[in-house]
Structure 1
Amino acid sequence: MDPGLPYQCPKDLGREQRGINLACHLNACAGYVAAGNFTNADLEFQCISHLSSPDGDAIQRMAAYMSEALSFRMFKHFPGACEIIMNSSSRMSNSEELLVKNLFFKLCPFLKVLYLIINQAIAQIMEGEKMVHIIDLNASEPAQWINLLKTRKGGPPQLNITVIHEKKEVLEQIGLQLIREAENLEFPFRFNPIVSKLQDLDFEILPVKPGEALAISSVLQLHSLLAVDDEMLAWSSPAALQNLQRAVHMNQRTFGELIQKDKINAYILSPDSALSPLSLGASPKMGNFLHDLWKLRPKLIVITEHEADLNGSNLIERVDRASHYYGSLFDCLESTVPRTSSERQKLERMLFGEEIKNIIACEGIKRKERHEKLEKWIPRLESSGFGKISFCQDAMHEAKNLLQNYGHGFKLREENGCLFICWNDKALFSISAWRFR
């Protein structure tokens, strides 16, 4: 590409060819941004702007947000401007946060299916229990627990729900809705709000009492803890690094105890990085957190995560994989919601667009969206002392029926006791159930 010549982009392309061209230009742009070649990157941005649109078809919309994320990435070379832009883009009011989660719940079937499966698992495992305590690791949509209150059979147990969120106002709104619903149903219920970031959670303050059957729900949350690990190596000493390398060969619980005992402050590169001393996938913060969950002796823990491999250290690879993953999310919306829908536009901009921006433009502790596939979560949970539980057939049958109401492209796949919600055979979200052992 000659930076001295104007770059000509063909405009009259079919959908398939336009998609191919956009993928090529996005990958090329990522390469130039990663190399600091802003002149050629700008030419690619100009071409992408001709082919993409936040109001177009699915691939055009996805490409618009991908290119925006890459442009933010370029500003990392100008710290002052970068800080202003990233701070302004990441600030979401409490009402906006609740709105976007509500839109995701309303316009897509994924949360509905996740909630249904989790609630069915809780009902199955907790059958016959008199006191049930649920810990929600970061709720902002009360619909899950409202549905549980409405569908409980065989008479209500004493139900306690502890919800963790970093914003007090969000917890207050969730609590008001749940308490009101429980009162209407005359359901014995207690709501325990805990204001905390997940990474800062003090397990000692969790109101878990003897005699309670404990269930833990994590809906698209645990991956954020991987960002903490990615910050730690910067301050590590050679001795601490040697301890970390030895700890790779130990199970996660022993590893977590080693970290706490030796006060190791170590920066762990992304698990996909060949430079990482923990390239086998061990993560100190994650290991400690899962060990703390294990010490609560839960009867059930349900983990849902994005089924995507977006936590690599290579920018070009992240862009390519994010294009495929979010391309499917935009495509499934294309099949169910009109392009002109203002709600769809808000969801794409405020949720998908912000996630893409975080994946592409941010690094270190600021890159929270570190999605990893179930194949990486399974060994973490197993080495932390959890045993896998299979989901009941009734839950899978109901979930499949719910998905079919949204169209034939949505599917539920079962593999080795775990479930995957798919769009046209591409797995988008994983669900796995575990127990203390």
Structure 2
Amino acid sequence: MDSGSPYHWLRELRCDSNSSNPISLLIECAKCVATGSIKNADIGLEYISQISSPDGNAVQRMVTYFSEALGYRIVKHLPGVYKALNSSKTSLSSDDILVQKYFYDLCPFLKFSYLITNQAIIESMEFEKVVHIIDLHCSEPAQWIDLLQTLKKRKGGPPHLKITGIHEKKEVLEQMSLHLTAEAGKLDFPLQFNPIVSKLEDVDFDNLPVKTGEAVAITSVLQLHSLLATDDEMAGRISPAGPTSFNLQRAVHMSQRTFAEWLERDMINAYILSPDSALSPLFLGASPKMGIFLNAMRKLQPKLIVVTEQESNLNGCNLLERIDRALYFYSALFDCLESTVTRTSMERQKLESILLGKQIKNIIACEGVDRKERHEKLEKWNLRLEMAGCVKVPLSYNGRIEATNLLQKYSHKYKFREVNDCLLVCWSDIPLFSVSAWSFRR
């Protein structure tokens, strides 16, 4: 609870030399939220709004979305207020698709992943007659168009290529089909595209159109981490709107104390009860969806699996640790945009507000099954996949040469490094995304 007057805290803040640093202030606000000091958090967030802006420098822009996420975390424990504020807000499918395109265009991370993935497919499928790719998030036609063009030149002729594209939005798959079919027609390339409209966790691997004799490759770009959301009994007891629902008994208790005091107590209870999906991050039982999913993949006997994930540890329960790690990760992302894209760019503004802002909000404001942005570092992915029966497939030397050229076109500050046969793509020396290739032990 609060210690001392919130106004005294504000006076100290304004006298503090760090008060002009929005990140320091944000961390102090996070501490207030975590301990239930809602009055102080409110004052701090109001002050942050005066020194941050979605149109400012990289730090100001990032802090804007972090402070918004903290605000949402507070409001989510007021179900009525939260619903009232969000009742008319709708997420346009066209906006979500558009910002994914901006991320592809403005940053090299997806291009890097696609380049390395395609090279791994080309080398592992060198002598295969029928190749079947299962894309777990089929959204960017450029990746597979590049693959078609490369395979067309393959010595001995191209394989018969089947691509099963999985995405929850039908319109995305329709556009993929149009682009890929048109390109295959131009190249006279034997291609079959199978669209599957489904969320990742609902994919029915038993009914995918995989036939005996096909060489299967599975690609996952920034998808598997969403399966780490805890779905145990504790998570089920915490509703999406908050830890408990509003009822008459609570209304009586509210009448006996101020609304702010009631909210602070509620926030403390939520903080204590919030489940830790990473109770044992290397134990598949702690993320049952992941275990089931990997086991279903194994039944397809894929020759190759390529996984791209964010390189950050955001799957823990502790709110302050999560915010600290998220600040480290997203500060690098916002900085690379600041260095390579103008501040007035409408594409950058939409990318930051719709894509990155939405991710930050999910990391900070959500718990339990609602929290999908549960990034983990490469070392944990390696152990998890090895426990599921996977072995590493070394990544291509030729792919690395092409990847170096790609990154240099954006900025000399983009680099990559090899770690245990996997690749980390970095901004300066900060690793942001990992790419690794696998196959199941026979």
Superposition TM-score, scaled by structure 2 size: 0.85
Equivalents in 2 of 1:96, 1:306: separation in Å?
22
1:151: how far off? 2.3
* Percent of residue pairs identical: 57
1:205: how far off? 1.2
Deviations 1:393-421 (Å, cap 9, x if unpaired)? 11011101110111111001101100000
Equivalents in 2 of 1:400, 1:144: separation in Å?
17
Answer whether contact 2:312 2:329 (CA < 8 A) is retained: yes
Equivalents in 1 of 2:177, 2:148: separation in Å?
13
1:84: how far off? 4.9
Equivalents in 1 of 2:148, 2:328: separation in Å?
37
Superposition map of 1:126-205 within 5 A:
126-152=125-151, 153-154=153-154, 155-205=157-207
Answer whether contact 2:390 2:438 (CA < 8 A) is retained: yes
Superposition map of 1:108-127 within 5 A:
108-127=107-126
- Name the SS for the 2:165 alignment partner: strand
Equivalent residue letter for 2:299: K
Residue of structure 2 in register with 1:406 after alignment: 410
Equivalents in 2 of 1:170, 1:393: separation in Å?
33
1:150: how far off? 2.0
Answer whether contact 2:274 2:368 (CA < 8 A) is retained: no
Q: Kindly tell me: are residues 363 and 234 of structure 1, through their superposed partners in 2, closer, same or farther at Cα, counting changes over 3 Å?
A: closer
Answer whether contact 1:412 1:422 (CA < 8 A) is retained: yes
Superposition TM-score, scaled by structure 1 size: 0.86
Q: Kindly tell me: are residues 56 and 149 of structure 1, through their superposed partners in 2, closer, same or farther at Cα, counting changes over 3 Å?
A: same
Unmatched 5+ stretches in structure 2: 238-272
Equivalents in 2 of 1:101, 1:393: separation in Å?
28
Unmatched 5+ stretches in structure 1: 237-266
Deviations 1:79-116 (Å, cap 9, x if unpaired)? 12324546766x43332222111100110011111110
Equivalents in 1 of 2:357, 2:5: separation in Å?
31
Equivalents in 1 of 2:179, 2:61: separation in Å?
35
Answer whether contact 2:311 2:375 (CA < 8 A) is retained: yes
Deviations 1:278-300 (Å, cap 9, x if unpaired)? 45432221111111111111000
Residue of structure 2 in register with 1:33 after alignment: 33
Deviations 1:124-162 (Å, cap 9, x if unpaired)? 101121100000112222221122112223132111000
Equivalents in 1 of 2:205, 2:98: separation in Å?
29
Equivalents in 2 of 1:29, 1:344: separation in Å?
27
Residue 47 of structure 2 corresponds to residue 55 of structure 1: no
Equivalents in 2 of 1:163, 1:208: separation in Å?
13
Q: Kindly tell me: are residues 75 and 208 of structure 1, through their superposed partners in 2, closer, same or farther at Cα, counting changes over 3 Å?
A: same
Residue of structure 1 in register with 2:399 after alignment: 395
1:338 to 322, 325, 342: 342
Residue 435 of structure 2 corresponds to residue 435 of structure 1: no
**Larger RCO, structures 1/2 (Cα 8 Å, 6+ apart):** 2
Residue of structure 1 in register with 2:371 after alignment: 367
Answer whether contact 2:96 2:355 (CA < 8 A) is retained: no
Residue 347 of structure 2 corresponds to residue 348 of structure 1: no
Answer whether contact 1:18 1:51 (CA < 8 A) is retained: no
1:173: how far off? 1.8
Equivalent residue letter for 1:92: S
Answer whether contact 1:58 1:327 (CA < 8 A) is retained: yes
Equivalents in 2 of 1:137, 1:23: separation in Å?
36
2:327 to 298, 323, 326: 323
Equivalent residue letter for 2:10: Y
1:210 to 204, 209, 212: 212
1:5: how far off? 4.8
Residue of structure 2 in register with 1:74 after alignment: 74
Superposition map of 1:214-293 within 5 A:
214-227=216-229, 229-234=230-235, 269-272=275-278, 276=279, 278=280, 280-282=282-284, 283-293=287-297
Equivalent residue letter for 2:226: S
What is the root-mean-square deviation in Å for CA atoms of aligned residues? 2.3
Deviations 1:166-187 (Å, cap 9, x if unpaired)? 2222211221121112112211
Residue of structure 2 in register with 1:258 after alignment: none
Equivalents in 2 of 1:336, 1:342: separation in Å?
14
Answer whether contact 1:420 1:430 (CA < 8 A) is retained: yes
Residue 311 of structure 2 corresponds to residue 312 of structure 1: no
Equivalents in 2 of 1:364, 1:342: separation in Å?
34
Residue of structure 2 in register with 1:3 after alignment: 6
1:216: how far off? 0.3
Answer whether contact 1:232 1:268 (CA < 8 A) is retained: no
Q: Kindly tell me: are residues 298 and 66 of structure 1, through their superposed partners in 2, closer, same or farther at Cα, counting changes over 3 Å?
A: same
1:165: how far off? 1.2
1:333: how far off? 0.5
Larger Rg: 2
Q: Kindly tell me: are residues 309 and 213 of structure 1, through their superposed partners in 2, closer, same or farther at Cα, counting changes over 3 Å?
A: same
Equivalent residue letter for 1:169: E
Equivalents in 2 of 1:130, 1:105: separation in Å?
31
Equivalents in 2 of 1:114, 1:203: separation in Å?
24
Equivalents in 2 of 1:191, 1:104: separation in Å?
25
Q: Kindly tell me: are residues 87 and 169 of structure 1, through their superposed partners in 2, closer, same or farther at Cα, counting changes over 3 Å?
A: farther
Equivalents in 2 of 1:386, 1:293: separation in Å?
11
